[in-house]
């Protein structure tokens, strides 16, 4: 069973790794989340981690308990629920009126929250016997929703299936902002499907500069607002420091792999190592691709 406890701490990646390395703790599932760092350690070192980051400025918390801890909690806190659920399922199996799950299918499934609420008003709730389900009323109310032109209700075992079709599939609201670069670097690729590109491949850019403007230019040079659609790839550089108790090939490989926290596409990486208080410091420099897009989903 998974014996890893996952923590999240408000600290820089370098600070967190330095403190853990000084305590000789093996780190698993390392992730960088903005100003926070996520990492896992074996369950038996949980209290030691809290002691390492005991200063109030670090704001550390457990975001995922070990598999054994979750299993124990499940058994101790939900024993009555498990027994009750088992009894309910046993009774439900003997009743053709029982609904354990309401499932909305069809291209109107994006309306699931509203439809499940309507079903409840019409007598259908999950984990209930639903003896008073008013199917015609349920269909009529669903058909009254915007763009819905078909609805059918059927049973499949303990499932209540509500098939809903709409005139056009639901799409998320478009972002009407231009495409900006979140990093400084060099434009490697820029594709503007709609809108006006303000940079070209090979251009140097700074963080926050616009890559694709949300407008089009007429032959006379007049601007017309439109939706910016496209993507870009920026070649950027970064560096990070990692601390270990000793210099070794394994630690060198681990330090180099840390560059992958910034991007799935690392173009080049190198490191230097120097002694420091309590161990050694690896300075990793790397070049990576940052892909950004707007209205491409």
Q: Please give the full DSSP string across 144-191, using - where no structure is assigned.
A: TSTTEEEEEEEEETTEEEEEEEESS---PPPP-SPEE-SS-EEEEEEE
pLDDT at 212: 94
Whether residue 155 has pLDDT greater than 90: no
Which range of 19-23, 26-30, 86-90, 114-118 scores highest in mean pLDDT? It is: 114-118
Does residue 68 register a pLDDT over 60? Answer: yes
Share of the chain above pLDDT 70, in %: 85
Helix axes 79-93, 67-77, angle to 10 degrees: 70
Averaged pLDDT for residues 19-45: 84
Long-range CB contacts for residues 40-44, cutoff 8 Å, separation at least 24: 40/4, 40/5, 40/6, 40/7, 40/64, 41/4, 41/5, 41/7, 42/3, 42/4, 42/5, 43/3, 43/4, 43/5, 43/68, 43/69
Tell me the mean pLDDT in the region 39-46: 87
Give the pLDDT confidence score for residue 183 in this predicted structure: 92
Q: Decide if pLDDT at 287 tops 90.
A: yes
90 or 220, which is more confident: 220
- CB 230 within 8 Å of CB 195: yes
Instruction: State the average pLDDT over residues 57-70.
Output: 76
pLDDT band at residue 77 using 50, 70 and 90 as cut-offs: low
- 161-217 confidence digits (pLDDT tens): 999 988 754 444 556 789 999 999 999 999 988 889 999 999 999 999 999 998 888
Give the other-Cβ count within 10 Å of 57's Cβ. 7
- Please state the rounded mean pLDDT for residues 73-101: 60
**Predicted pLDDT at 94:** 45
Band (69; pLDDT cuts 50, 70, 90): low
In this predicted model, which residue has the larger pLDDT, 145 or 275?
275
The Cα-based distances of 237 to 222, 263, 269 in angstroms read 37, 11, 10
pLDDT of 130 > 50? The answer is yes
Average pLDDT over residues 112-139: 84
Give the pLDDT of residue 1. 43
Residue-level pLDDT at 117: 86
Burial of 125 from C-beta contacts in 10 A (0-12 / 13-18 / 19+): middle
What's the confidence (pLDDT) of residue 171? 45
75 pLDDT above the threshold of 80: no
Average pLDDT, the chain: 82
159-166 and 101-105 as β-strands: parallel, antiparallel, unpaired? Answer: parallel
- In the block, tokens 């056009």 appear at 168
pLDDT recorded at residue 85: 59
73 pLDDT higher than 90 = no
More confident residue, 275 or 217: 275
Which residue has better confidence, 248 or 169?
248
């Amino acid at each position: 069973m998974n014996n890893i406890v996952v923590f999240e701490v408000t600290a820089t990646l370098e600070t967190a790794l330095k403190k853990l390395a000084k305590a000789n703790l093996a780190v698993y599932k390392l992730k960088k989340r903005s100003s926070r760092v996520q990492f896992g350690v074996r369950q038996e070192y949980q209290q030691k981690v809290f002691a390492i980051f005991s200063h109030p400025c670090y704001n550390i918390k457990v975001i995922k308990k070990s598999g054994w801890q979750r299993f124990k909690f499940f058994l101790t806190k939900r024993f009555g629920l498990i027994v009750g659920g088992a009894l309910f399922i046993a009774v439900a199996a003997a009743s053709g009126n029982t609904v354990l799950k309401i499932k909305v299918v069809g291209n109107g499934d994006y309306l699931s929250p509203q439809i499940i609420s309507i079903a409840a008003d019409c007598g259908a709730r999950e984990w209930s016997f639903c003896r008073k389900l008013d199917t015609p009323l349920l269909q009529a109310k669903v058909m009254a929703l915007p763009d819905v032109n078909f609805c059918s209700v059927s049973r499949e075992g303990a499932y209540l299936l509500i098939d809903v079709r709409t005139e056009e599939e639901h799409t998320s609201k478009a972002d009407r902002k231009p495409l900006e670069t979140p990093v400084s670097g060099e434009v490697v690729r820029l594709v503007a499907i709609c809108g006006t590109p303000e940079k070209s491949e090979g251009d140097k850019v700074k963080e926050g500069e616009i890559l694709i403007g949300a407008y089009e230019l007429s032959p006379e040079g007049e601007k017309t607002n439109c939706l910016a659609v496209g993507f870009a790839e920026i070649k950027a550089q970064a560096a990070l420091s990692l601390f270990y108790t000793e210099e070794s090939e394994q630690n060198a490989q681990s330090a180099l792999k840390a560059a992958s926290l910034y991007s799935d596409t690392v173009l080049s990486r190198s490191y230097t190592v120097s002694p420091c208080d309590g161990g050694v410091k690896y300075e990793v420099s790397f070049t990576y691709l940052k892909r950004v897009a707007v209205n491409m989903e």
